Amino acid sequence: MTGPIAKVVVEIAVGREFDYRVPDPLRAAVHVGSRVRVPFGHRNVLGHVVGFAEKSDARHLKEIADVIGAKPLLDPTLIELARWMARYYCCPVETAMRCVLPEVVRRGEASFKQHLHVQLKPVGDIEPALGARAAKQRQVVEILKANPSGMFLAELVRKAGVTAAVVETLKRKGIVEVAYRTSERDPFGDEVFVPSEALPLSAAQRNALDLVRKSIATLDPPVVLLHGVTGSGKTEVYLQAIEHVLDLGKGVIVLVPEIALTPQTVERFKSRFNPKRYGTQVAVLHSHLSSGERHDEWHKIHNGRARIVIGARSAVFAPVNPLGLIVVDEEHETSYKQEDAPRYNARDVAVVRRASPTPESPGMLERHYAPRTPLRLLEGAVPGRTKRLGCLAFRSAPAGDFAAVEILSPSGDLREAAANLFAALRRLDAAGAELIVAEPVPETGLGVAIMDRLRRAAERPA
């Protein structure tokens, strides 16, 4: 059969895509990523359009029954990411698609809440309409004058200490207008965040930030690892990297372990990235949100009103578009690994999503971790610290506070580096140096062994 044919993945784990004919009345509404209702057997099921074809080998195609929602829920890059997950983690593509979309969004179990909203009308002098004895009405008017965009009725009557009848009287007098508006369920909506400013960077932090900015612009390197002890300034580096991405008009996903997703963590981001200054909101996604909160936060991202997303493992699938940066904080944490199918590692999915917009094969992930540059041993000082710092870098030596002490391996060979490592560590230990490891580290057996040796040396009591 020829004509407009949609490739649909239904929410039944059968491991394949099905062809459906697009009826003429729905042609303008069906796009890649659209959520649709299709006949499957003797019932209708939900599915997602993942592509189109000009013809199909099937003779008698069924038609798409309905399109749900005016805007597609998935963009092509997330669909390709789901296909890569299906290949890499050996699971049906439907299972991977269920990870990409939260269940509350996929099944349409929740919707936006509508509440009465009150706003002053531009009527000029309202004193004659109020009268001399309308103290409560005047109080409501003064509150609305201080809130030009209006307030929801429940909040207004609570703040003014009046009943809804007072607002109804103002409506009859033509002073206010009352209409239903969407009320977002923001888990942090009642909190006030004090704006904060960026901190000055040390030379080492500036070099790290320059490398991250280069990666954002060119994907060379596609992955940057910041490895340092607590208090070494890693967080400030990626906070300023996020600011750079926002200036480019792109969005950011910040993954943190579930146990670290505390109100203090959220406060740090919401204080730094004030909506009035940056023109964007900060969305939070984690397992402790209610269905309504998760629904509203996801759509806040999908509609482009929130370009910064903070969340646990599943936030790696947030519909940020265009995406400029993914930060995986404490990337070694085991909580980034999903225990149920598909058993994905959010760190690896983040690498594939950011570093390769169109994942071509399961093997591409390993190539992003491959070492490409010489190894250098560095030492220097960071402002505010009394100890010298020893740093093993797998890229070019930073300038400024850090100076190269010894090249462990000019060719980048790990075995040669390992042979020279222990003598260098002994010299640093004897000098009372504190060890920091920074930049991409090879994910090989010997590379892991070197990292383990450095960590144990760094954790040794002074």
Task: Name every residue whose Cβ is closer than 8 Å to that of residue 134 and which is 6 or more positions away in sequence.
Answer: none
In the numeric block, the tokens 């509350």 are attached to 104
Both 322 and 283 in a single domain?
Answer: yes
In the numeric block, the tokens 């909190």 are attached to 191
Both 94 and 133 in a single domain?
Answer: no
| Domain end point (choices 37, 72, 106) | 106
> By the 8 A CB rule, do 140 and 170 touch?
yes
Both 128 and 99 in a single domain?
Answer: no
Q: DSSP readout, 129-151?
A: HH-SS-HHHHHHHHHHHT-TT-E
Both 210 and 343 in a single domain?
Answer: yes
- Taking the C-alpha atoms of residue 309 and residue 316, their distance in angstroms, rounded to an integer, is 9
Question: Token digits for 138?
Answer: 């005047």
Q: Is 194 part of any domain? A: no
Both 217 and 350 in a single domain?
Answer: yes
Both 327 and 212 in a single domain?
Answer: yes
Q: Quick one: which of 379, 375, 374, 376 has its CA closest to 429?
A: 379
Question: Token digits for 17?
Answer: 């895509």
The one-character DSSP state at 331 is T
Q: Is 95 part of any domain? A: yes
- Taking the C-alpha atoms of residue 101 and residue 99, their distance in angstroms, rounded to an integer, is 6
> By the 8 A CB rule, do 436 and 458 touch?
yes
| Domain end point (choices 106, 126, 142) | 106
Q: Which segments of the chain have a pLDDT < 50?
A: 1-2, 362, 371-406, 434, 436-442
Question: Token digits for 227?
Answer: 């490895």
Q: Which domain holds residue 332?
A: 203-356
Both 211 and 352 in a single domain?
Answer: yes
Q: Is 193 part of any domain? A: no
Strand order in the sheet with 66-68: 18-21, 2-10, 43-55, 35-40, 66-68
Sign of the four-CA dihedral 293, 295, 298, 300: negative
pLDDT at position 390? 44
Domain count, the chain: 4
The one-character DSSP state at 248 is T
Instruction: Give the N- to C-terminal CA distance of the chain in Å, as an integer.
Output: 75
- CATH number of the domain where residue 179 is located: 1.10.10.10
- CATH number of the domain where residue 252 is located: 3.40.50.300
CA angle 314, 310, 68 (to 5 degrees): 55
Q: Is 366 part of any domain? A: no
Rg (CA), the chain: 28
Both 98 and 119 in a single domain?
Answer: no
- CA distances for 17 relative to 49, 193, 247, angstroms: 9, 47, 40
Q: What is the longest distance spanned by two Cα atoms in the chain?
A: 91
- Taking the C-alpha atoms of residue 158 and residue 146, their distance in angstroms, rounded to an integer, is 15
User: Element (H or E) spanning 311, and its range?
Assistant: strand 306-311
> By the 8 A CB rule, do 269 and 230 touch?
no
Strand order in the sheet with 375-380: 402-409, 375-380, 389-393, 434-438
